């Protein structure tokens, strides 16, 4: 088996951040396996495929066809199978997006391969792939070790690994693969972007408010301005979503979004287990709460015991002053 194959994703006319993260980790794992790092671009992503070389790919495969202009399970799995047959990877890495969950499960089934979803770490131990992933709302950390000699499909949670540094002078061969029979059983008629959609899961910085904000007006006075000053997105606990302060799209937690940003600020959030389930793998967690016994402090990297009404405006002003 040959090393690592990364399934690329694009955002606009560039590689998605998750692809740069996977290429960075993929490079280390390929070296540990004694193999090479390949990248696969399917459908519209082929436009940015060559960029994968700047982030460590040794070879790049593309599969382009009219039937691949939109995501379908059959189409993308058939395209991936073409690359897998050509490259024979020990590990196939993709992001844990809505579509990639569907794709990864179908690909692993067709390959009779091991699958791990929501992965937060990957290692090579004695030649075998080892994946780490949280479960049970983040209270249990599982380590899976896969038998060597069979491919492994790992869907990685965003922002689990640093992005690979760009090496603009690097290049790699790009090979266009043909798929003989590409007859997806589904066709996509129309894709309608949702108006006002909130992309919390992609945000590198999230500022979340909870019931400690007191009321809806106070939430909007204090939380979005801090998020904006930091260039981040704003989130909410379920308590205040249920109370109608903030739309559901902003909810973080077991029944909301699972996020893993570089910085998560929780203000006036108690840290109920269902909330922690959606954010505890964030890299740095800052909690602001007037109750020193609030459970959120148990997982916080930095804790501030105090009143959100005093601390948030000061913090926002200070950040604006420093960043301008
Ligand atoms: P509270 O628990 O009321 O906490 C408010 C906090 O603010 C307190 O710690 C308080 O000390 C602090 N505070 C008050 N005033 C101030 C002030 N002036 N300054 C600073 N701090 C202050 N919850 C989620 O968030 N996401 C989910 O996805 C989710 N899913 C759930 C699923 C199920 C099946 C169930 C049963 C529950 C779920 N919950 C979820 C709800 C969860 O159990 C909690 O009820 C909820 O997270 C509490 O929200 P909160 O922290 O905003 O409010």
Does residue 102 surpass a pLDDT of 90? yes
Residue nearest to atom 15 of ligand 1 (CA): 212
Angle at 38 between CA 130 and CA 114, to 5 degrees: 35
Count of domains observed in the chain: 2
- The pair of three-digit structure tokens given for residue 302, joined into one six-digit string: 């930095």
90, 95, 98, 103 alpha-carbon torsion, rounded to 10°: -20
Give a yes or no: residue 187 inside a domain.
no
Give a yes or no: residue 34 inside a domain.
yes
* In a shared domain, residues 82 and 223: no
Question: Which residues does a 6 A CB cutoff place in the pocket of ligand 1?
Answer: 210-212, 237-240, 251-256, 268-270, 272, 274-275, 278, 288-291, 294, 307-309
Does residue 251 surpass a pLDDT of 90? yes
| pLDDT attached to residue 97 | 87
What number of residues does the chain have? 324
Q: What CATH number does the domain containing 31 carry?
A: 3.40.50.620
28 marked as part of a ligand binding site: no
Q: What percent of the chain is predicted at pLDDT more than 90?
A: 83
Last residue of a domain, one of 155, 174, 193: 174
Residue numbers of the domain that contains 135:
1-174
Give a yes or no: residue 116 inside a domain.
yes
When the pLDDT of each residue in the chain is averaged and rounded to a whole number, the result is 94
* In a shared domain, residues 142 and 275: no
271 marked as part of a ligand binding site: yes
Q: List pLDDT tens digits, range 145-204.
A: 999 888 999 999 988 899 999 999 999 999 999 998 788 899 898 888 766 566 788 889
* In a shared domain, residues 16 and 160: yes
* In a shared domain, residues 165 and 210: no
Q: What CATH number does the domain containing 300 carry?
A: 3.40.50.1220
Q: List pLDDT tens digits, range 196-224.
A: 566 788 889 999 999 999 999 999 999 99
* In a shared domain, residues 221 and 302: yes
Distance 215 CA to ligand 1 centre (A): 13
Does residue 291 surpass a pLDDT of 70? yes
Give a yes or no: residue 81 inside a domain.
yes
| pLDDT attached to residue 273 | 94
Give a yes or no: residue 45 inside a domain.
yes
Residue nearest to atom 26 of ligand 1 (CA): 253
Residue nearest to atom 52 of ligand 1 (CA): 210
* In a shared domain, residues 210 and 169: no
114 marked as part of a ligand binding site: no
| pLDDT attached to residue 197 | 60
* In a shared domain, residues 155 and 19: yes
Does residue 324 surpass a pLDDT of 80? no
Give a yes or no: residue 140 inside a domain.
yes
Q: List pLDDT tens digits, range 109-133.
A: 999 999 999 999 999 999 999 999 9
* In a shared domain, residues 218 and 161: no
253 marked as part of a ligand binding site: yes
């Amino acid at each position: 088996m040959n090393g690592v194959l990364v399934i690329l994703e694009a955002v606009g006319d560039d590689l998605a951040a998750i692809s740069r993260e996977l290429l960075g980790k993929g490079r280390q794992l390929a070296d540990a396996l004694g193999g090479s790092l390949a990248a696969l671009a399917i459908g519209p992503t082929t436009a940015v495929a060559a960029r994968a070389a700047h982030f460590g790919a040794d070879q790049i495969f593309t599969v382009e066809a009219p039937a691949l202009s939109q995501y379908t399970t059959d189409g993308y799995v058939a395209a991936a199978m073409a690359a897998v047959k050509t490259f024979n990877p020990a590990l196939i890495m993709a992001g844990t997006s809505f579509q990639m969950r569907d794709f990864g499960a179908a690909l692993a089934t067709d390959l009779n391969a091991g699958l791990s979803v929501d992965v937060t770490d990957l290692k090579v131990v004695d030649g075998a792939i080892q994946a780490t992933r949280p479960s049970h709302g983040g209270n249990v950390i599982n380590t899976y070790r896969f038998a060597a000699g069979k491919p492994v499909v790992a869907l990685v949670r965003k922002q689990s690994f640093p992005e690979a540094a760009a090496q603009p002078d690097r290049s790699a061969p790009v090979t266009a693969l043909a798929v003989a029979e590409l007859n997806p059983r589904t066709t996509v008629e129309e894709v309608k972007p949702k108006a006002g959609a909130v992309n919390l899961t992609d945000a590198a910085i999230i500022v979340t408010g909870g019931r400690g904000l007191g009321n809806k007006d106070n939430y909007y006075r204090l939380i979005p301005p801090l998020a904006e000053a930091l260039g981040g997105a704003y989130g909410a606990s379920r308590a205040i979503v249920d109370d109608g302060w903030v739309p559901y799209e902003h909810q973080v937690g077991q029944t909301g979004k699972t996020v893993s940003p570089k910085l998560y600020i929780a203000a006036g959030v108690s840290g109920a287990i269902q909330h922690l389930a959606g954010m505890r793998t964030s890299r740095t967690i800052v909690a602001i709460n007037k109750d020193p016994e609030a459970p959120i402090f148990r997982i916080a990297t930095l804790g501030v015991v105090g009143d959100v009404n005093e601390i948030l405006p000061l913090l926002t002003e200070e950040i604006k002053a420093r960043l301008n």
